[in-house]
C-alpha cells in the first residue's frame, strides 16, 4: 500500500513531498551498492518519491546507486542532487550537473542545490542554474547550508527563484528556529532537514525513549515527527528494509501539545541567534 505523504508548496509554484530518502553515507562500503539501491527501490514501492543525493557523496557513487534504483521507473522519483561549491562557477555548475546526470542515468534533475556557500560569486552559480533550467536539465534549483545572511546575499544576487534550503535540523540542532526558519517561512521557502535524527545519536535519549514507549512508537519516529511538525522536509537515510519501515512510521504520528512541551523541556529551542551548524 502506498503512503499518504504531505506536500509543501514551493515558492515558484508546484509542490514537494515532505518526506524523502537520504543517501549520505551510501556507496562507502557499509553495504553493497545492490543492497542500498534495493532499499531505495523499496521506498519507491511504498510511495516515497523524493530521493536526496549529491556529487560529493562517496565521490558520485551514491548518485550511481540512486541511478540504479530509479532505472526503468524515473517517473516514480523526485531527484535532488547538489553541486560542490568548488565547482559552482557558471560553467562549472553546468559541467557538474552533466556529470551527475550521467551518474544518475537520467536526462534531468528535479531539484539541484548548491551544497554550501563557496568562493564563486552567487550570481555565477545562479546563471549556471538558470542555463540548466532553460536546457531542461533541471526543473528547479536551491541551496544547502545557507544561514540567514547567506540567504539575504543570495536574494541580493538575484536568487529569488530559490526553491528550498537544505540544512542540519533536528531536536538537538534547533538554532534555525530563531531567525532562519521564520525568515524562510515568511518567503514561502521550505526548509529541508538533513540528519533529522542526528545520524542515530538521538535514539538513546531518555526523554525521547519515554515519549516513544508511551505511545508504542520508536525514538526515531518521535524525532522525525518533530521535524515534520515544524513544517520541514525530512530526508532520513535508511540502511535496511526494517529501518525504512521504522522511519515511515513517523508519518502516522501527530505530536500532542503535552509531547511538544516535553520535547521543548528536553531540547530547548534557541533564545538568541546561533550560527548555522553543519555536519
SS (H, E, C) 136-180: CCEEEEEEECCCHHHHHHHHHCCCCCCCCEEEECECCECHHHCCH
Convert 178-242 into a string of H (helix), E (strand) and C (coil). CCHHHHHHHCCCCEEEECCCHHHCCCCCHHHHHHHHHCCCCHHHHHHHHHHHCCCEECCCCCCHH
- For residue 46, what pLDDT band results from cuts at 50, 70 and 90? very high
Sheet holding 233-234, edge to edge: 20-22, 50-52, 78-83, 109-114, 138-144, 165-168, 191-194, 233-234
* pLDDT tens track for 97-132: 999 999 999 999 999 999 999 999 999 999 999 999
**Predicted pLDDT of residue 178:** 97
CA angle (110, 64, 108) in 5-degree steps: 25
Q: What is the mean pLDDT of residues 182-195?
A: 98
59/38 Cα distance (integer angstroms): 20
Percent of the chain with pLDDT over 70: 99
Place of cell 532553460: 134
pTM: predicted TM-score of the whole model, two decimal places: 0.96
Which residues does the annotation mark as catalytic?
57
- Find out whether 128 and 89 touch, Cβ atoms under 8 Å: yes
The residues with which 112 forms a beta bridge, in sequence order, are 81, 141
**Predicted pLDDT of residue 1:** 44
Residue from 244, 237, 242, 279 nearest 26 by CA: 237
Question: Which fold, 15-202+232-239?
Answer: TIM Barrel (3.20.20)
Flag whether 115 is marked binding.
Answer: yes
Average pLDDT of the chain to the nearest whole number: 96
* pLDDT tens track for 54-96: 999 999 999 999 999 999 999 999 999 999 999 999 999 999 9
Amino acid at each position: 500500500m502506498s503512503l499518504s505523504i504531505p506536500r509543501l508548496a514551493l515558492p515558484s509554484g508546484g509542490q514537494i513531498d515532505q518526506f524523502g530518502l537520504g543517501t549520505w553515507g551510501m556507496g562507502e562500503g557499509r553495504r553493497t551498492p545492490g543492497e542500498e539501491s534495493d532499499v531505495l527501490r523499496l521506498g519507491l514501492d511504498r510511495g516515497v518519491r523524493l530521493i536526496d543525493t549529491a556529487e560529493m557523496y562517496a565521490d558520485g557513487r551514491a548518485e550511481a546507486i540512486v541511478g540504479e534504483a530509479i532505472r526503468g521507473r524515473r517517473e516514480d522519483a523526485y531527484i535532488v542532487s547538489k553541486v560542490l561549491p568548488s565547482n559552482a562557477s557558471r560553467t562549472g555548475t553546468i559541467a557538474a550537473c552533466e556529470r551527475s546526470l550521467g551518474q544518475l542515468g537520467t536526462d534531468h534533475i528535479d531539484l539541484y542545490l548548491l551544497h554550501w556557500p563557496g568562493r564563486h560569486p552567487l550570481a555565477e552559480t545562479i546563471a549556471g542554474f538558470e542555463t540548466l533550467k532553460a536546457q531542461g536539465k533541471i526543473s528547479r534549483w536551491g541551496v544547502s547550508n545557507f544561514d540567514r545572511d547567506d540567504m539575504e546575499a543570495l536574494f541580493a544576487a538575484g536568487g529569488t527563484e530559490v526553491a528550498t534550503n537544505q540544512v542540519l535540523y533536528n531536536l538537538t540542532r534547533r538554532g534555525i528556529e530563531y531567525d532562519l526558519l521564520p525568515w524562510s517561512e515568511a518567503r514561502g521557502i521550505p526548509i529541508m532537514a538533513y540528519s533529522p535524527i542526528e545520524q542515530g545519536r538521538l535514539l538513546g535519549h531518555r526523554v525521547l525513549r519515554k515519549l516513544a514507549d508511551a505511545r508504542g512508537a520508536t525514538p526515531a519516529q518521535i524525532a522525525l515527527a518533530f521535524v515534520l511538525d515544524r513544517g520541514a522536509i525530512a530526508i532520513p537515510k535508511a540502511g535496511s528494509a526494517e529501518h525504512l519501515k521504522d522511519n515511515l512510521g513517523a508519518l502516522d504520528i501527530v505530536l500532542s501539545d503535552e509531547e511538544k512541551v516535553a520535547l521543548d523541556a528536553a531540547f530547548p529551542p534557541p533564545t538568541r541567534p546561533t550560527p548555522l551548524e553543519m555536519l
